[in-house]
Amino acid sequence: MSSCVFCKILSGELPSYKIYEDEYTYAFLDIAKDVDGHTVVIPKKHVTNIIDCDPITLSKVTEAIRLISKHYVEDLGYDGVNVLNASGKAAEQSVFHLHFHIIPRKEADGIHAWPNFLGAKHSLEEMAEILKLN
């Protein structure tokens, strides 16, 4: 897709700081520079989000996320990672090419990467009935 910023990165039209690449995926540093090591992992195939992604592409992306996260913790001394994804405009997805953010973490780093939710409005029983898949 010619207007997709991530596709432009993949084609070399836009620069990036590559962290990892394989046949199916590409990982690079987020240009926001909001957290040291903030990494974006994308499939090379353009898919909008996790909802329209085929199982093979999604498995390749999650394997890349696992490899990178393991490297950050086992080889680079981070204590953990946050893996974040937004799928769909209502979920605040800003680039409509499937992507996951890896935020490398250290104990007591002061980063608050988890959303502050306001509290559920319905009981667990009600939501289980509404949301169950089978």
Residue 97 annotated to the active site: no
Could you say which of 46, 99, 101, 112 is catalytic?
99
Nearest to 24 by CA among 45, 4, 8, 39: 45
Angstrom distance (rounded) from CA 79 to CA 34: 19
Which stretches does DSSP call E strand in the chain? 18-21, 25-29, 39-43, 80-84, 100-105
Catalytic residues: 99
